[in-house]
């Protein structure tokens, strides 16, 4: 039996060891570091199934800011799986990194590129467990710091530098909002622990206006992380400019962590109707903006950026409906389908390009890659028997239960938009004639990863029970309600 916090410590130590070893590696092939990183994270993933239960009563000391409830464990695994997949993609992306980083050593920059995601992973795992505003802030910063470096990694590319600057400035700004909000909440309630804030709100008669002001500021900060409208302006440029594995990591890991924190933060303050109203507005705007702005896109990476905003909208419907289970399931589906699309994007992007037109006739050139992308797009659009459909199904079900009629209607309309822009990619792959004839080379590891992702999309699309069970394990203290 392993105590839960040792998972993050193990990940962090492994990252430090790899980073240190890299500086002595000379001219050896850096891909070994990626493999080592994947192996280490996989070991931690296995270890996460043998966790000691957290102390049942302790709400002081360490356990007052660290939770090991099912939700936290679930998202720790989520972060681990995401990072493993991102590292696998990073191996495929290595040639592009080499082009983008100055240095005489043929492996310059690769070692860091393979180890930095491990630190991000540690931050994401802490974030999943954070139940105290201080802890939330610190782990969020760990995630953001490593992303600052990763986003602008290929620094010879001006688009990447632009992305890096935009991400740095806007992220720092949003962090400012977050801290400012936390101070307001602390000033009103005298607490930073979320559970105790809830107790204070329930028992004492406090001034609501400053508290709600603080909550609104915190939502601004988190809205930036999850790419909710109107805090989404950075998304398209950063997603398009950043190295593709980092884009995938941003769109899945960063967003998932943001939603976990959002669920945790909203649990004590959801008693105020104003918060829910605010979130309904944000969700509606996010759905409309993300889906409609995705319609005219011609660059696949940018399309996926807007689609990530759109999916944040569906996730926000789940948040507004207070269904943690629906949000968690949707995030899992989102992880599978988005990473599948990005995996194909990297392979094809190295060979042809990132425009949708570069996918013309892919079905003839590489039927497997086209099929993988087809499954990814079908799942993103929400076609049954894929995980993406069940995700939308659970979200809409939760919303109908909470009588969020407006959001449901809007959600259905925007699903129609989704069919258009996702099928645009399918159309290019299957309808159009290829520009080049030769097949796109695909490494064995990537092929295996894609097969596993496709299988997972179908299995979870038909048999969602494993994910639902993982969220309904016997619970420790500080558990938020998973379904109402």
Partner 1 sequence: MLLIIVFVPLITALLILIGAPARLTALLGSGATVIAALVAFFLYDPVRAGFQFVSSFPISESWRLQFLLGADGLSLIMLFLAALVLLCAVWFTPPIEKSEPLFYACLLFLASGAIGAFASLDLFFFYAFHELALIPTFLLIGIWGSGNRFAAAWKVTIYLGLGSFVLLLGLILLYRSVPPALRSFDLRALQTAAANGGIAADTQNQIFFLLLIGFGVLISLFPFHTWAPEAYASAPPPAAMLHAGVLKKFGLYGLLRLGLPLVPEGAQHWNTLLIVLLLGNIIYVGLVTIAQKRLDWMLGYSSVMHMGYIFLGIASANIIGLNGAALLMFAHGISIALLFALAGEIRRRTGTLVFSDLGGLGKIMPFAGFAFGIATFAAIGLPGFANFAAEVMVFFGAFRVGADWQSFHIFQIATVLALWGVVISAVYMLRAYRVVFMGAAKPEAFRGWSMAPDLSRTLRLPIILLITATLIVGFFPNTVLRLLRPTFSPPVAASDR
Q: Tell the residue number behind the tokens 């258009």, with chain if given.
A: 420
Q: CB within 8 A of 32, min separation 6: which ones?
A: none
* Neighbouring C-beta atoms of residue 288, cutoff 10 Å: 17
Smallest distance from the beta carbon of 420 to partner 1, in angstroms? 6
Rounded CA-CA distance 484/323 in Å is 7
Interface pick for partner 1 out of 31, 98, 196, 427 (rule CB under 8 A): 427
Our finding on whether 280 is near partner 1 (CB under 8 A) is no
Smallest distance from the beta carbon of 377 to partner 1, in angstroms? 9
| Spacing of C-alpha 192 from chain mean position | 25
Interface pick for partner 1 out of 16, 216, 278, 383 (rule CB under 8 A): 383
**CB closer to partner 1, 282 vs 460:** 460
Question: The tokens of 471 are what?
Answer: 């969220």
Smallest distance from the beta carbon of 266 to partner 1, in angstroms? 23
| Contact range with partner 1 by CB under 8 A, out of 154-162, 250-258, 291-299, 414-422 | 414-422
Our finding on whether 451 is near partner 1 (CB under 8 A) is no
Within 382-443, where are the H helices? 387-401, 405-430
Interface pick for partner 1 out of 39, 416, 435, 484 (rule CB under 8 A): 416
Q: CB within 8 A of 140, min separation 6: which ones?
A: 123, 127, 175, 178, 225, 257, 261
308-339 CB burial, b ≥16 within 10 A, e <16: bbbbbbbbbbbbbbbbbbbbbbbbbbbbbbbb
Our finding on whether 62 is near partner 1 (CB under 8 A) is no
- Restricting to residues 353-382, name those near partner 1 by CB under 8 A: 363-364, 374, 378, 381-382
Site string for partner 1, 225-264 (x = CB under 8 A): ----------------------------------------
* Neighbouring C-beta atoms of residue 247, cutoff 10 Å: 28
| Contact range with partner 1 by CB under 8 A, out of 84-92, 183-191, 238-246, 405-413 | 405-413
Our finding on whether 412 is near partner 1 (CB under 8 A) is yes
Our finding on whether 463 is near partner 1 (CB under 8 A) is yes
387, 337 Cβ separation under 8 angstroms: yes
Our finding on whether 288 is near partner 1 (CB under 8 A) is no
Rounded CA-CA distance 117/348 in Å is 23
Rounded CA-CA distance 393/229 in Å is 23
299 SS3 class: strand
Rounded CA-CA distance 43/268 in Å is 35
49, 469 Cβ separation under 8 angstroms: no
Rounded CA-CA distance 356/400 in Å is 36
Our finding on whether 401 is near partner 1 (CB under 8 A) is yes
Our finding on whether 400 is near partner 1 (CB under 8 A) is yes
Interface pick for partner 1 out of 42, 62, 406, 431 (rule CB under 8 A): 431
**CB closer to partner 1, 274 vs 472:** 472
**CB closer to partner 1, 175 vs 479:** 479
**Residue ranges that bind partner 1, judged by CB under 8 A:** 363-364, 374, 378, 381-385, 389, 393, 396-397, 400-401, 408, 412-413, 415-416, 419-420, 423, 426-427, 430-431, 462-465, 468, 472
């Amino acid at each position: 039996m392993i105590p839960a916090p040792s998972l993050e410590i193990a990940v962090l130590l492994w990252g430090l060891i790899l980073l240190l070893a890299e500086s002595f590696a000379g001219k050896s092939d850096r891909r070994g570091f990626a493999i080592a990183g994947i192996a280490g994270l996989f070991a931690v993933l296995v270890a996460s199934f043998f966790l000691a239960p957290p102390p049942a009563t302790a709400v002081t000391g360490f356990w007052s800011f660290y939770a090991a409830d099912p939700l936290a464990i679930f998202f720790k695994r989520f972060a681990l799986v995401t990072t493993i997949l991102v590292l696998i993609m990073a191996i495929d992306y290595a040639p592009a990194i080499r082009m983008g980083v100055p240095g005489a050593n043929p492996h310059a920059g690769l070692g860091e590129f393979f180890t930095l995601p491990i630190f991000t992973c540690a931050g994401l795992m802490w974030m999943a467990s954070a139940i105290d505003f201080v802890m939330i802030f610190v782990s969020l910063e760990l995630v953001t710091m490593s992303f600052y470096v990763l986003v602008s990694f290929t620094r010879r590319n001006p688009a990447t530098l632009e992305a890096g600057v935009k991400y740095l400035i806007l992220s720092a700004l949003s962090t400012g909002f977050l801290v400012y909000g936390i101070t307001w909440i602390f000033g009103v309630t005298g607490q930073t622990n979320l559970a105790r804030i809830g107790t204070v709100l329930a028992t004492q008669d406090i001034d609501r206006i400053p508290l709600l002001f603080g909550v609104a500021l915190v939502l601004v900060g988190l809205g930036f992380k999850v790419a909710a409208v109107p805090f989404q302006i950075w998304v398209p440029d950063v997603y398009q400019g950043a190295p593709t594995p980092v884009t995938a990591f941003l769109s899945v890991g960063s967003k998932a962590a943001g939603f976990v924190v959002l669920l945790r933060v909203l649990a004590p303050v959801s008693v105020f109707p104003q918060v829910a109203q605010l979130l309904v507005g944000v969700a509606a705007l996010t759905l409309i903006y993300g889906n409609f702005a995705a319609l005219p896109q011609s660059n696949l990476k940018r399309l996926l950026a807007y689609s990530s905003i759109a999916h944040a909208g569906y996730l926000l419907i789940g948040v507004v409906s207070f269904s943690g289970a629906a949000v968690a399931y949707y995030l899992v589906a989102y992880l599978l389908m988005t990473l599948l699309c990005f995996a194909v994007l990297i392979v094809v992007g190295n060979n042809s390009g990132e425009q949708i037109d570069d996918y013309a006739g892919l079905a003839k050139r590489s039927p497997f890659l086209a099929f993988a992308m087809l499954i990814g797009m079908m799942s993103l659009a929400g076609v049954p028997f894929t995980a993406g459909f069940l995700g939308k199904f659970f979200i809409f079900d939760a919303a109908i239960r909470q009588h969020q009629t407006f959001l449901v209607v809007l959600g259905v309309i925007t699903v129609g938009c989704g069919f258009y822009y996702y099928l645009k990619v399918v159309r290019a792959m299957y309808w159009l004639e290829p520009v080049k004839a030769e097949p796109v080379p695909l490494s064995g590891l990537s092929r295996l990863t894609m097969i596993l992702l496709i299988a997972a999309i179908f299995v979870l699309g038909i048999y969602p029970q494993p994910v639902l069970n993982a969220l309904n394990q016997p619970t420790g203290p500080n558990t938020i309600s998973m379904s109402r």
